[in-house]
Amino acid sequence: MAIVISTQHLAAIAGKESKLMPDLVLWINKLCPQYEIDSPQEYAHFLAQACHESDYFKTFKEYATGAAYEGRADLGNRKAGDGIRFKGRGIFQTTGRANYLQLGIKKGHRDLFINHPEYLEQAEYAVWSACEYWANKNLNDVANHADIDILKKKYRGKVLDVSPVEFISLTINGGYNGIEERKRFYALAQRVLK
């Protein structure tokens, strides 16, 4: 059953309103269904991650300078200044030259986000980039598992037994950063979207 996301939904999940919510809701409702993110369960997972990554839906840009990503070959940051230039942006905080390049290729303009990384700070591209990531990682399949299901997730050379929300959190964050908050947002989103 497809649902329509409202600013009230986002505010209830975040615990407060933000000025970004009206534009965010517009693009969530326009783009998410195109990626088959359209059920309450899928949205609960998607919005829980987005709420954490965007600091309660308040920013589409990482607060840190990005200097920590300087020289990170795994992110494609090969030129001086790439860490800062290609720091986290969008609702899932896309990071690194290689990921910005891939998004440009998906949009049909290879260097779109390389030349204009700030575009990922616009609600349309912030949501679109998250939808692309979600689809690329097949996260709807994970989101549609029952909460009690135990899934296998490879993490740092080990295979872990994790819940669906832990699997999605590890996929989006690459670690356990904010895991308890992500779980809390997920539980809130489930209640809000019933």
CB-based contact 46:143 (threshold 8 Å):
yes
Query: What pLDDT, on the 0 to 100 scale, is given for residue 22?
Result: 98
pTM of the entire structure? 0.96
Task: Tell whether 130 and 172 lie within a shared domain.
Answer: yes
Task: Tell whether 128 and 56 lie within a shared domain.
Answer: yes
SS3 state of residue 86:
coil
Query: Would you say residue 96 lies in a domain?
Result: yes
Type of residue numbered 14: A
Task: Tell whether 30 and 86 lie within a shared domain.
Answer: no
What's the domain count of the chain?
2
Tell me the pLDDT tens digit for each residue of 22-37. 999 999 999 999 999 9
| pLDDT over 80 (residue 159) | yes
Euclidean distance between the first and final Cα of the chain, in Å? Answer: 11
45 Ramachandran zone, left/alpha/beta (phi>0; psi -120 to 50): alpha
